[in-house]
């Protein structure tokens, strides 16, 4: 891997998240308390990691390292921000049918191997990732902070 690829991946997957979290926390603090009937959180932050961040990924160390760092960032931010009223969690998807993954999933040899490595036997839809993210931003998850929610059809267990 080139140094340029490494730096680009770190910038996109990690540096951008750092800046976004800084700006988001500042804005949420300015907005004040949650509306009546909402949970007691000032705000919710849900970072998106990956199964690669938990078990590594051959030939994609740059990606796996940044996704692992997001898991660590989730735990650090939760410890720092939970006392200030913020819930910080992480969703770790596996393979998801998106434009970005289409080439691999549509490959006649690789696609079936990917699906065979997922205990539920298929890749996720974007909606199946969005639902757990939304859940973590509701009062139903009001006592959850610093956690990694694996949304990968059991793939992280089979890896």
The answer to whether residue 158 is domain-embedded is: no
Interval 149-158: pLDDT, tens:
999 998 877 6
Query: Structural domain of residue 122, as residue ranges?
Result: 3-151
The answer to whether residue 156 is domain-embedded is: no
The answer to whether residue 157 is domain-embedded is: no
- Identify the three-state secondary structure at position 145: coil
Low-confidence ranges of the chain (pLDDT < 50): none
* E-assigned strand segments in 64-135: 86-93
Q: Which residues of 41-53 are buried (b: 16+ CB within 10 A; e: fewer)?
A: bbbbbbbbbbbbb
Q: How many other C-beta atoms lie within 10 A of the C-beta of residue 75?
A: 16
CA 10/CA 67 separation, integer angstroms: 10
Annotation marks residue 63 as catalytic: yes
Residue 11's domain is classified under what CATH number? 3.40.50.720
CA 77/CA 98 separation, integer angstroms: 29
Which of 13, 63, 65, 155 is the catalytic position?
63
What domain count does the chain have? 1
The answer to whether residue 109 is domain-embedded is: yes
Interval 88-99: pLDDT, tens:
999 999 999 999
The answer to whether residue 159 is domain-embedded is: no
């Amino acid at each position: 891997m080139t140094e340029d690829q490494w730096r680009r991946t770190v910038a996109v997957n990690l540096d951008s998240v750092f800046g976004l979290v800084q700006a988001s926390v500042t804005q949420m603090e300015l907005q004040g308390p949650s509306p009546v009937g909402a949970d007691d959180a000032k705000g919710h932050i849900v970072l998106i990691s990956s199964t690669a961040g938990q078990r590594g990924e051959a030939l994609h160390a740059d990606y796996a390292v940044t996704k692992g760092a997001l898991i660590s960032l989730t735990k650090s931010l939760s410890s720092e921000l939970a006392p200030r009223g913020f819930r910080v969690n992480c969703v770790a998807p596996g393979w998801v049918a998106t434009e970005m993954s289409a080439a691999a999933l549509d490959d006649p040899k690789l696609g079936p191997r990917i699906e065979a490595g997922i205990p539920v036997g298929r890749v996720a839809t974007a909606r199946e990732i969005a639902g757990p993210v939304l859940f973590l931003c509701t009062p139903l998850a009001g006592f959850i902070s610093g956690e990694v929610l694996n949304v990968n059809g059991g793939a992280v267990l089979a890896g």
